[in-house]
Amino acid sequence: MLNEKFIYAEMWVERGSEGESVLRGLKFSTALPQYAIVDAEGNLISRYDRPTNVASMTPAGFAEWLEHGLKKTAP
C-alpha cells in the first residue's frame, strides 16, 4: 500500500490487451507482468512494465524506481 488512498500491485495482462482485465482464461505462458497503481475504489490510475532487472534490484533501488514512476503519473 502506498498510502491511505492508493495501492501498488502487480497485475498480469495478455500481450496487446491494452490493460483490460483478462484474468479469466489467462495463459501465463503468454502473459506479461506489469505494475499498477490503483485507487481506493479499484480504478486503474497507472500501469507500467516492471524493470528488466527487478530480480537484482535492492529494496532501496526498487523504491527509487517506484517513486520515479509515481512522479511521472502525478497530475
Grid cell 528488466 in the structure block, residue:
52
Q: Average pLDDT over the chain, rounded to whole?
A: 65
Q: Which residue has the higher pLDDT, 24 or 16?
A: 16
Write the DSSP string, the chain. --SSSEEEEEEEEETT-TT----TT--TTTEEEEEEEEETT--EEEEEEPPTTGGG--HHHHHHHHHHHHHHH--
- The pTM of this model reads 0.42
User: Looking at residues 17-31, what average pLDDT do you find?
Assistant: 49
pLDDT at position 50 over 50? yes
- Residue type at position 50: R
pLDDT value of residue 26: 45
